[in-house]
Structure 1
């Protein structure tokens, strides 16, 4: 499989192996945070430079519309399916996790497409940003509907109660504010705007930063992600096998849905592949951080362990080439 011969992916595999054997290899948290911010900034700049060239087209509007549609449909369907076999709070948390997106999976796919020479639009970075928040808001609404009538009543006037013993109610406005002003997401959008404004001149100036360093920084970050994924595999011990299967089958189903929508809307292969990856990915940073406070009744070992321990490695090693290959075969 060509993806496994990519140095960045091999560093991820190496990180998983090092974590599995309990090596003391470790990337300091501050360095990991810097790498994450660098990748988002570089991605935003690349997207902005691309948009400065292509402009806002009908396909841009169509693809962004499909991204928002998927961000609503995926968590809604996931919740309805999961609550048949899990407690409602766990179902809401997992639905939010799989309804949102993984920026690292998206960035790895962008690099894969560039290596393959497959064209895609810079606006797909904006699609990723748009898909971050809807699932979080929906999950909190799902959870709130499960709580005692008294808690629901206390949540009137646009307030979403956190549940017994968790302090003051969480207002819908606060969720929206935190979602849309999150530092990483804001950096991505800000860099995209700067790229659009500066155009070709900015691209030439920033090429050593946003292009030449990108591959090495991605490899370093995926090494850290491999270590983290391996160390979270223990979270899944004793969990039902059907949940582990869900962590693989759900991304495939979501990607298939995205491919069908892209084909119906006439979206190009590169953009469709990225839409598939976004639909198939699961958040393991932003959403779990919110869910720990917004849905404390849910088990972090489930939604965090599944997304980082199973889905992320599956998508990085197997999913990306699979989704890109299907998009190119059907839409190319």
Structure 2
């Protein structure tokens, strides 16, 4: 790996705030960001990404690459949970394996936001339609995870019947984070360009500041949840480290079949490598009540997220640039 690129990433101010959050929790500081503030910032970040992506898409010619990219995203979010499930099923219960597989097949909007900041630091651009790809990759992994649970996890006679696939998918699609990014994307497409300039300072100039505060909170949450799944042993920790690196690296290389854009290929890699800890847990609480949230949420947030934003992003960019 390019040492200069890795050092540049590790000294990125937004990432350093993530580290500060971890330190604050480890030293038992009383530093706290109000939940309402965290929710506002997360919605703001999704709004800014979606709106800017919509504006870029509105000014881009409609090309075959957009269709190929959407199809490639759907393929990734359907295939990853399949092989992930069968790897995990050897060591975990069917319910836990299905929930973790859905999480790793879906995407993390926060990791996507951090990836956008990383690309900006490298003076690299990506196409607006990649925001749509991100939004489209949320639901397929959840659907595949639920189908696998229905096929392999048979409820006992004393257990309540599992909710229908349709109701769970509807819940995941109408999840606040998904609705915000998709809605902002659509508004960005149809909004008048001159009037959109009026909110540019809000969507662009203060973006990194809000991201730094949000990652500070993510650091504190990560440190609190990291140790909660230690009872599952080394296997899940190794999986949470190696699986994103494998997925991201493979897609970084294979994405040249879809696009030649370095920025777009990098985004594909980070989407394949990321794991959902917002939309999927909300859906799995309904679809897989026997699955342990103390396993799949810390795996995604406590291990995979920091691996991706520290080691993963420089690695994926390096692979994209040399393949």
TM norm structure 1: 0.91
In the aligned structure 2, how far is the partner of 1:76 from the partner of 1:267? 27
Aligned match of 1:95: 101
User: Which among 176, 179, 195 is matched to residue 186 of structure 1?
Assistant: 179
In the aligned structure 2, how far is the partner of 1:17 from the partner of 1:166? 42
Aligned match of 1:136: 142
1:259 aligns with 2:265: no
Does structure 1 conserve the Cα–Cα contact (< 8 Å) formed by 2:169 and 2:283? no
State the Cα distance separating 1:179 from its structure 2 match.
2.1
Distance verdict in 2 for CA 1:165–1:8, change over 3 Å:
farther
**What does 1:129-278 align with in structure 2 at a 5 Å threshold?**
129-148=135-154, 167=160, 169-198=162-191, 200-278=193-271
In the aligned structure 1, how far is the partner of 2:286 from the partner of 2:71? 30
1:109 aligns with 2:102: no
Count of aligned pairs between the two proteins? 317
Does structure 2 conserve the Cα–Cα contact (< 8 Å) formed by 1:59 and 1:267? no
Does structure 1 conserve the Cα–Cα contact (< 8 Å) formed by 2:248 and 2:316? yes
In the aligned structure 1, how far is the partner of 2:134 from the partner of 2:260? 16
SS of the aligned residue for 1:279 comes to helix
State the Cα distance separating 1:168 from its structure 2 match.
5.6
In the aligned structure 1, how far is the partner of 2:22 from the partner of 2:128? 31
Distance verdict in 2 for CA 1:17–1:136, change over 3 Å:
same
State the Cα distance separating 1:164 from its structure 2 match.
5.9
Q: Deviations over 1:183-240 (max 9, x none)?
A: 2211111111121122532442111110011010100100010000000012132332
Distance verdict in 2 for CA 1:168–1:30, change over 3 Å:
farther
In the aligned structure 2, how far is the partner of 1:287 from the partner of 1:26? 26
Aligned match of 1:21: 27
In the aligned structure 2, how far is the partner of 1:251 from the partner of 1:169? 30
Aligned match of 1:7: 13
In the aligned structure 2, how far is the partner of 1:164 from the partner of 1:323? 47
Distance verdict in 2 for CA 1:164–1:139, change over 3 Å:
farther
SS of the aligned residue for 1:227 comes to helix
In the aligned structure 2, how far is the partner of 1:167 from the partner of 1:93? 18
SS of the aligned residue for 1:54 comes to coil
Does structure 2 conserve the Cα–Cα contact (< 8 Å) formed by 1:276 and 1:323? yes
User: Which among 40, 59, 63 is matched to residue 57 of structure 1?
Assistant: 63
1:293 aligns with 2:286: yes
Could you tell me which runs of 5 or more consecutive residues in structure 1 were left unpaired when the two chains were aligned. Answer: 152-162
Aligned match of 2:4: none
TM norm structure 2: 0.93
Distance verdict in 2 for CA 1:164–1:180, change over 3 Å:
farther
Aligned match of 1:157: none
State the Cα distance separating 1:173 from its structure 2 match.
2.0
Aligned match of 2:298: 305
Distance verdict in 2 for CA 1:264–1:22, change over 3 Å:
same
Distance verdict in 2 for CA 1:123–1:266, change over 3 Å:
closer
Could you tell me which runs of 5 or more consecutive residues in structure 2 were left unpaired when the two chains were aligned. Answer: 1-6
Aligned match of 1:44: 50
In the aligned structure 1, how far is the partner of 2:14 from the partner of 2:196? 24
In the aligned structure 2, how far is the partner of 1:68 from the partner of 1:31? 33
State the Cα distance separating 1:169 from its structure 2 match.
4.1
State the Cα distance separating 1:314 from its structure 2 match.
0.9
